Amino acid sequence: RPAKKPKLSHLTSEDFKNGIFLAPMVRSGALPTRLFALKHGASLVWGPEMVDKAMLHAERVVDPLTGVISYNGQSRAMFTTHPIERPYLIFQIGSSDPDLAVQAAKTVMNDVSGIDLNCGCPKPFSTHSGMGAALLTNPDVLCSILTALRREMPPEITVSAKIRLLPSREDTLKLVERIVNTGISTLTVHCRTRNMRDREPAMVERLREIVEFVEGMGKGVAVVENGDCTGWEDARRIRALTGAHSVMVARAAESNPSCFSTTPLQDVEKTLVPSYIRLAEYLDNHWGLTKFCVNQFHSSHVVVRKADAKALRQALSKSKSYTDPVLKEAIGDGVSGKEEFDQIANAIE
């Protein structure tokens, strides 16, 4: 088996070990992408970050036909999920306030298996209001949020955090110690500092001492590596190099959500894109979001004829909805969205 899937009705720290996970990604971590990642070997999936306040006024609506659960804001669905992913779904919150974080977590807790706190987003949107990477230099607030979540969530909901490295080793270990002492089950470390760009290589070599430090604390907390992993094979290399219990993948999965598999799909335009579009239509995924996600997909080994890929891309950019005849023609016939969904449900259960 490429990755261990949780067998219990709820997750424990152990389920965060020996795994390969889909990272939280705003927009790119949409429901169809998460389902494809699970189908192709991801052991757990993180949802895109949702800011606590946005969740408080969301209306929860269930589609009786498909079972899709939408958390709707004033004009659109902010977060959608489906009960089949619930055993594997970690919901990520952006917060700088323990009460708001708890309220947001309570809003969604019946549809997810864990709550993760984003302590790594360096974008001004997050940091200006004290969220994301701003928490790294405000450990009192960071830890008060995790403590409140652990206290207020039922035991079957895991609480975890995703951080970045601090510039100094000592400061990083001090922060890690405080975070682990809040009672979390899992700590993901994006092996870049707040000021590093994604094109700079992740400092994976700094993780081993963090893993050993957390193991030395004896609480059984899983440490997850994040940064530059390209897929299943690479995750093995990274685990051997760092001692990390698991690995989390973002951009490689954004390009190809089957990268978790021992045999990832090679010609994504031919294989993944048509299935993805049909599944997304069945799940009533917002067309603009589907288009955005599909535009990120590309094959690492180009085996698909360039002309075919170009025709599909052109049809996609012209199409204004799932029912556009140009799009229908470009993706051709194949397994229906409902059949695709059923296959995924069978594969992941």
The per-residue DSSP string of 216-269 comes to: HHTS--EEEEESS--SHHHHHHHHHHH--SEEEESHHHHH-TTTTSSS--S-TT
Q: Which stretch binds ligand FNR (CB under 6 A): 62-70, 115-123, 308-316, 335-343?
A: 115-123
C-alpha 237/C-alpha 247 separation (Å) is 10
CB-nearer residue toward ligand FNR: 190 or 278:
190
C-alpha 123/C-alpha 120 separation (Å) is 9
Q: Is 28 in the site for ligand FNR (CB under 6 A)?
A: yes
Q: Is 304 in the site for ligand FNR (CB under 6 A)?
A: no
Q: Which stretch binds ligand FNR (CB under 6 A): 6-14, 22-30, 65-73, 286-294?
A: 22-30
By CB under 6 A, the residues from 140 to 169 that bind ligand FNR are 162
Residue 338 makes CB contacts below 8 A (sequence gap 6+) with 282
> What values do phi and psi take at 301, rounded to 5?
-110, 115
CB-nearer residue toward ligand FNR: 100 or 224:
224
CB-nearer residue toward ligand FNR: 123 or 174:
123
The catalytically annotated residue of 119, 121, 229, 293 is: 121
Q: Is 48 in the site for ligand FNR (CB under 6 A)?
A: yes
Q: Is 337 in the site for ligand FNR (CB under 6 A)?
A: no
C-alpha 105/C-alpha 169 separation (Å) is 32
The β-bridge partners of 247 are 20, 225
Q: Which stretch binds ligand FNR (CB under 6 A): 3-11, 58-66, 223-231, 332-340?
A: 223-231
Q: Is 225 in the site for ligand FNR (CB under 6 A)?
A: no
H helix or E strand, kind and range, residue 89: strand 89-94
Q: Is 107 in the site for ligand FNR (CB under 6 A)?
A: no
Tokens at residue 14, please? 């152990």
From 80, 226, 285, 290, residue interacting with ligand FNR (rule: CB under 6 A): 226
191 is an active site residue:
no
CB 243 within 8 A of CB 211: yes
By CB under 6 A, the residues from 232 to 251 that bind ligand FNR are 249-251
Distance of CA 213 to the CA centre of its chain: 26
Catalytic residues, by residue number, are 121
Contact residues: ligand FNR, CB under 6 A: 23-26, 28, 48-49, 92, 118, 120-121, 162, 190, 198, 226-229, 249-252, 254
